[in-house]
């Protein structure tokens, strides 16, 4: 995770960003800190990336890389405003002794990649259409030695896979069908017949931008119906308020890069 102490909406690179809407940086840090404390309270270890001035989106740590079984496939951002974030993430992983594979294709880390270790022998779901290029999917497959299923995103409000889909345990997902092309919807229905489906209201409340440890699902507090569906499916919803960071187009998952040893 990376503190939002420099967070601001200084440019607009997704439909959620409005440079005219004021951001309360102090409140953003408080809300982020509650998210960090929630993860610690659930028994997880949290490593911190040092925020850098001039990189207001660094709080969205999920976008900096994608880690599977101790191997890190680095990010290469689409927009120049975020490009320098990639080096900060690479430095973190190399300092901690991870095997790092530098990308040559545009991809935005866990923003567009999700991993399910027990689904079909270990499967990577990958989004394209707005940020990550299809060539990045092929590069990730080579780097991580896992099959990659490409899913086409068609609604600019769901510009990253992680605002439309999330893994809720090692073999199942929750997603919003409307974010995907008709063909990708069929692929998801075939691969995950028992998936939890979100409606547009919860999807637009960033409810799918969540993190799950297989039991506890930390999600945006606005997504109340989705929390109910997850509870009915046997999970424990853990709601967190992140209204300020939503102004940058992100929520729970965007703030968390998962370190899979």
CA distances (Å), origin 92, targets 102, 147, 216: 13, 26, 27
* Residue 160 bears catalytic tag: yes
Nearest to 249 by CA among 63, 2, 1, 14: 14
* Residue 254 bears catalytic tag: yes
State the number of CA atoms in the 13 A half-sphere of 66 facing the CB: 33
Question: What does residue 61 show for φ and ψ, rounded to 5 degrees?
Answer: -65, -20
Question: What does residue 195 show for φ and ψ, rounded to 5 degrees?
Answer: -60, 155
DSSP state letters, 24-82: -HHHHHHHHHHHHHHHHHTT-----BPP-TT-TTTT-GGGGEEEETTEEEE-B-SSGGG
Is residue 248 within 8 Å of 32, Cβ to Cβ? no
Residue 8 tokens, joined: 């601001």
Catalytic residue among 47, 160, 255, 261: 160
Catalytic residue among 2, 6, 254, 255: 254
Is residue 60 within 8 Å of 35, Cβ to Cβ? no
Q: How far is C-alpha 210 from the chain's CA centre?
A: 8
**3-state SS track over 197-237:** ECCHHHHHCCCCCCEECCCEEEEECCCHHHHHHHHHCCCEE
The residues annotated with a catalytic role in the active site are: 160, 254
């Amino acid at each position: 995770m990376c503190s939002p102490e420099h967070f601001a909406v200084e440019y607009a690179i997704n439909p959620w960003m409005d440079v005219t809407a004021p951001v309360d940086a102090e409140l953003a840090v408080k809300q982020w800190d509650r998210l960090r404390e929630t993860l610690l309270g659930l028994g997880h270890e949290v490593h911190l990336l040092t925020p850098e001035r001039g990189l207001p989106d660094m709080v969205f740590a999920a976008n900096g890389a994608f880690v599977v079984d101790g191997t890190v496939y680095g990010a290469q951002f689409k927009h120049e405003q975020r490009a320098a974030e990639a080096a900060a993430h690479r430095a973190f992983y190399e300092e901690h002794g991870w095997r790092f594979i530098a990308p040559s294709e545009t991809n935005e880390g866990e923003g567009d990649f999700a991993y399910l270790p027990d689904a079909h022998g270990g499967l990577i779901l990958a989004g394209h259409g707005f940020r990550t290029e299809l060539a990045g999917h092929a590069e990730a497959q080579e780097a991580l030695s896992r099959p990659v299923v490409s899913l086409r995103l068609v609604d600019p409000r769901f510009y990253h896979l992680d605002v439309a889909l999330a893994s809720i345990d090692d073999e199942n997902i929750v997603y919003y069908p409307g974010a995907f092309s008709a063909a990708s919807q069929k692929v998801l229905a075939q691969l995950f017949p028992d998936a939890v489906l979100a409606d547009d209201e919860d999807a637009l409340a960033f409810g799918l931008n969540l993190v799950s440890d297989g039991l506890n699902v930390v999600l945006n507090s606005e997504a109340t119906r989705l929390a109910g569906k997850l509870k009915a499916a046997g999970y424990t919803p853990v709601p967190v308020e992140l209204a300020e960071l939503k102004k940058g187009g992100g929520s729970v998952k965007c703030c968390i890069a998962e370190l899979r040893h």
